Amino acid sequence: MSTPLIGVLALQGDVREHLIALASVDAVARPVRRPEELAEVDALVIPGGESTTMSKLAKAFGVLEPLRERISAGTPVYGTCAGLIMLADKILDPRSEQETVGGIDMIVRRNAFGRQNESFEASVDVTGVDGPVEGVFIRAPWVESVGADVEVLAEYDGHIVAVRQANALATSFHPELTGDHRVHGLFVDMVRAAG
């Protein structure tokens, strides 16, 4: 697969930034809102935003179950911030009626690093990426614990902030907001390897 077609779940959140980041690392990127659009892509990015709203909109647009099916079948997926929450098998503090698509055997805590006004940037060493990545943490979650099949790719301040399990990648932070697209490059390499 030379140029993968990667969808960005475009229900809510920083969709445009992911489309730009993916295009910069030689992928064709397009927004995905409906099951038929999801069926056409080789892989998917679930962007940052508000995880409860994203969950409700995924249900309303009829993509929640198709997302679960694609991820369960091994479709490569990358989630940032709210996307990490959506990929968790369990949330410690879910909102009422909040659902996830699952895919990574991890337990996450929403807004773990604090509220909006406590957002920050920090250098993070990510396994698979040469040199530190500037992470933008906006009301960011962290990973409380992972199962045996999950690889921890990065920690910050003693907390897990990047993980990978098979074809699923997730970060607590937003690399798409910095202009440094190496984490997206890592994901595109995963997509190509999954073929």
CA separation for the pair 131, 129 (Å, rounded): 6
Closest CA to 99 of 88, 108, 109: 88
Residue of 18, 174, 181, 184 with catalytic role: 174
Q: Which residue do the tokens 């892509």 mark?
A: 41
Q: Is 176 known to be catalytic?
A: yes
In the set 18, 176, 181, 184, the catalytic residue is 176
Which residues make Cβ contacts (< 8 Å) with residue 60, sequence separation at least 6?
none
The yes-or-no answer on residue 121 being catalytic is no
Whether 8 and 19 have beta carbons less than 8 Å apart is answered as yes
How far does Cα 38 stand from its chain's mean position?
16
Q: Phi and psi at residue 133, in whole multiples of 5°?
A: -110, 140
Active-site entry in 81, 144, 151, 184:
81
Residue 81 is a catalytic residue = yes
- Cα–Cα dist 7/19, whole Å: 8
Residues designated as active site: 81, 174, 176
